[in-house]
Amino acid sequence: MIDGMLLPGADHPAAAAFWHWCARGELRIQVCASCGTRRFPPRPMCPTCRSFDHVGEPLSGRGTVWSFVVPHPPLLAAYNEQSPYNVIVVTAEEEPAIRFVGNLVTSADGRLDGVDPTTIRIGESVTVAFDRVSDAIALPRWTRP
């Protein structure tokens, strides 16, 4: 936890590369080196051909709000001060089956409650922005273009 935020397990073997790319400001996903299947979240084996070989494919960082929620109390204590906030699901422009969960914010380091949840629309365009929360972790968040 850093400054009241719960952080991902960036050293998990299956996800370490994703978090490394995010720390460099790159949104990438795994692509099977054998059959070309794109996959997210990261995992060791391709669900299509069962290959363990993969590469990281860069994405544009553009997407569309597929769904969203506004959590209501009781909340995780780390997020009480920033409620109400949104949690959005974004489909990647390059591959709509790839979905990311994050927050719609006004800037990369914007507060989680910085966007009025009543203004969020399913289908609206968003762009990734990386919030550097530590030397090793930059969280992908989403902003309006």
Q: What is the pLDDT of residues 57-77, one digit of tens each?
A: 999 999 999 999 998 876 778
Distances in whole angstroms, Cα of residue 27 to Cα of each of 4, 104, 132: 24, 16, 14
Alpha carbon distance 145, 141 (integer Å): 13
Give percent of the chain with pLDDT exceeding 70. 96
* Structure confidence at residue 9 (pLDDT): 74
* Structure confidence at residue 12 (pLDDT): 80
* Structure confidence at residue 8 (pLDDT): 74
Which has the minimum average pLDDT: 56-65, 78-87, 105-114?
78-87
Alpha carbon distance 9, 127 (integer Å): 24
Cβ contact 112:103 at 8 Å = yes
Read off the tokens for 4: 């009241």
Please name the residue ranges forming H helices in 8-95. 16-23
Owner of token pair 């997020």: 79
Distances in whole angstroms, Cα of residue 80 to Cα of each of 33, 73, 106, 141: 43, 8, 19, 19
Alpha carbon distance 12, 107 (integer Å): 28
* Structure confidence at residue 4 (pLDDT): 59
Alpha carbon distance 145, 109 (integer Å): 16
Q: How many residues does the chain have?
A: 145
**pTM (predicted TM-score):** 0.90
* Structure confidence at residue 91 (pLDDT): 98
